[in-house]
Chains A and B, each alone.
Chain A
Amino acid sequence: MASIARNVLILAAVLSGAVVCTPAAAQNEQFIPILSYRTGPYAVNGAPYANGVVDYYNLINERDGGINGVKILFEECETAYATDKGVECYERLKSKGPTGAAFINPLSTGITFALTEKTATDKIPIVTMGYGRADSKNGAVFAYNFPLLGTYWSAADIAIQHVAKELGGLDKLKGKKISLLYHDSPYGKEPIPMLQVLAQKYGFEFTPIPVTHPGVEQKSQWLAIRQHRPDYVLVWGWGVMNSTAIKEAAAVAYPRDKMIGVWWSGAEPDVTPAGDQAAGYKALMLQHGAGKFPVHADIEKYIYAKGKGSTEPGKIGEVLYNRGITNAMLGVEAIRKAQEKFGKKPLTGEQIRWGLENLILTDARIKELGFEGMLKPVSISCSDHEGARYGRVQQWDGKGWKVISDWYTADESLIEPLVADVSAKYAAEKKVTPRDCAKET
């Protein structure tokens, strides 16, 4: 009954565009829009992520009294993972608060593509942690894009490194067949150029297989996989596509331990609907996995103990919840960094862009923030808007995710030429003059 009441309240608040934040709208507040999806086919993945973001912002307000005294004012806007609604939300929220939106986090690669030029014009950073445009790692061209912690090109390289490790070395990739089952959208297509580069370098046969949104019907794709018999299937899915892929794989007797999902295909809602059939399925980790760390204790103490939590207490620490709090923490720390230069007051998007570009999180700072064990050091710069490119692999054992690999680091020597090439083409097409990163401070 309590969960029904909570669902009703959250949905009513989001659908009415209500502000979920501090009560009095004072001038000493930093406004952060939250583009979320709690309805529609992707709500099952969007909601836990949004819950993490909301809980972390509330934690900063409740525990610390804001960021150096500047309270966080936030508002959710429902996109339903649709690009048009995402753009509409951005336009509606970009000027809110005393200084406008601090940054935007669209949680959709499609919306990211649609907003990239708008946000640069409006001077509002677009933070796409673990998704978005892979070429936007190049901050010289994409001054306002921040694909933090890992792009899809980093993910593709890490996935292939793991396949090679299982096979016994990179040289063993030669002649192997690797298929990519992908969501037929900008998100799903993003890793393809990198996988083509990797296929050429290591000599494996690469086959991309699209799945139409939302991915409820995949019989054709899996019959084709059964006939083609690839050695590995990489899954670049979202929402129902992931669990359906696992079920269809089981139906055609394709081994689940030869499937490796990207980090958006490796959360609890992706495997639990498939029941026992999901056992053995593997997925990349955007550094963190499931589980509780010191920051969760604070969230429980300052938020849930006061009855202000966004979700059921049992869901704190799930993969997507943890991604939400990690994403929120990076944004908060970027604001804190910007305050060092521009003062402890509400800042503009342009000022926070500087904070993002100069953000360095050491092991000591990560520990201080309560994220020790979830995150490795992050160092963002003008030329590197990704800031870190580490990953691990986890495996679903039927009840929970188990980390089965050591840390991988994406091979920059392979990624960088592609980033340089594609971002240069973008700059030429959009008439963007790349910044000289040597002169940026």
Chain B
Amino acid sequence: MIAFGQFLEVLIGGLMSGVLYSLVALGFVLIFKASGVFNYAQGAMVLLAGLALVRALDLLVANGFPLWVAVVLGIGFAAVIMAATAWLIERFVVGPLVNQDALTLFMSTIGVTFVIEGVAEMIFGSDVYPLQLFPTDAWFLFEGLFPGGILVNKLDVWGALIAGILVAGLALFFQRTKTGRALRAVADDHLAAHSVGIPISWIWFVVWLAAGLVALVAATVWGTKLGVQFSITFLALKALPVLIIGGLTSIPGAIVGGLIVGAGEKIAEVYLGPSIGGGIEYWFAYVLALAVLLVRPQGLFGERIIERI
């Protein structure tokens, strides 16, 4: 019974961690879905959003603003920063490369990553900035059934709730709004979309802005978990296997991929790790991703690629 309780705890903890990875993966999906660009800079955007938020928050609180006002204004400031970033990227990077192939666009986002990381730390500092927007203690469930109970972290639950709301909101945005439908049209064929009057520049600005706002949401959760600091950029590496498994074009896929990666890596680390030296969870996530790639290259929820020859 103890062993089963411990397994449940690891499984739930893994699933919850996976949802937090999904928060980052969603930003990748949004941009790829709408522009066909694999945005390597998503991790850096989480860092930038987090730094803008926490530094504004600290400044406002230090100047006597009530916490809730500071949080609202801080989020507003960070959103403006992300909007400016989206505009700059569209204007100076993605826009001029509109007719280039996907690899060129991908390489440009690698450049954007380093620029964002450097500029963000230069402007906002490179210390660790604590952020406490959500509770970080834990519940211990079923203590009567299992000695010590099953630990569930409150921050993880908040993360899961936020991810759920984001997915629902994004699904509505893509399906029910004019801009959302235009985004899908641009994703399918941006030249054809342009020919029927859809403004490509505006659409790409909107999609980078949306990804920036998703990065801001991810930063609130991950910033609370780790403190806002450079290491947040490494979350991009945690999101990659999630994307491979869930598919680059599927928003629900990002969530399911996150759940699979989170649960898989935690179970592997706790139960397989000790017998082979430990520290396996980072690469084990990629083992799972490779297994999915071999069976279903487009990911579990990705669109099947059919090309006429």
A residues contacting B by CB (< 8 A) are 3-4, 7-8, 11, 15, 38-41, 43-44, 47, 184, 208-212, 214-217, 219-221, 223-224, 226-227, 239-240, 243-244, 247, 250-253, 269, 272-275, 277
Contacts and interface: CB of A to CB of B under 8 A. Distances in A.
Contacts of A44: 126-128, 229-230
A212 B130 contact: no
Interface stretch (B71-79, B176-184, B278-286): B278-286
A264 to B, nearest CB: 15
B58 interface: no
A216 B6 contact: no
Interface in B131-178: 132, 136-138, 148, 151, 153, 155
Nearest to A239: B231
Given A212-B279, A220-B270, A277-B136, A11 B234 contact: no
Given A217-B238, A219-B13, A223-B13, A273 B229 contact: yes
Interface stretch (B115-123, B195-203, B252-260): B115-123
B192 to A, nearest CB: 42
Contacts of B118: 11, 15, 39
B111 interface: no
A216 B229 CA distance: 11
Of all A-B residue pairs in the complex, the 6 with the closest CB atoms, nearest first, are A273-B227, A210-B279, A220-B269, A240-B231, A184-B279, A210-B278
B225 A43 contact: no
Contacts of A220: 10, 13-14, 265-266, 269-270, 273, 281
A250 B136 contact: yes
A209 B137 CA distance: 23
B211 interface: no
Contact of B121 (A7, A243, A250): A7
Contact of B130 (A4, A41, A272): A272
Given A220-B270, A223-B9, A269-B128, A251 B138 contact: yes
Contact of A38 (B126, B151, B232): B126
A15 B132 CA distance: 33
Interface of B: 6, 9-10, 13-14, 17, 117-118, 121-123, 125-130, 132, 136-138, 148, 151, 153, 155, 225-227, 229-235, 238, 265-266, 269-270, 273-274, 277-279, 281-282
A28 B108 CA distance: 47
A8 B124 CA distance: 10
8 contacts: A4-B122, A7-B125, A39-B118, A219-B14, A219-B17, A224-B273, A251-B153, A269-B128
B123 to A, nearest CB: 6
Given A11-B121, A214-B234, A224-B270, A240 B126 contact: no
Nearest to A12: B122
A216 B266 contact: no
B135 to A, nearest CB: 11
A272 B132 CA distance: 12
A45 to B, nearest CB: 9
Contacts of A224: 269-270, 273-274
A226 B151 CA distance: 10
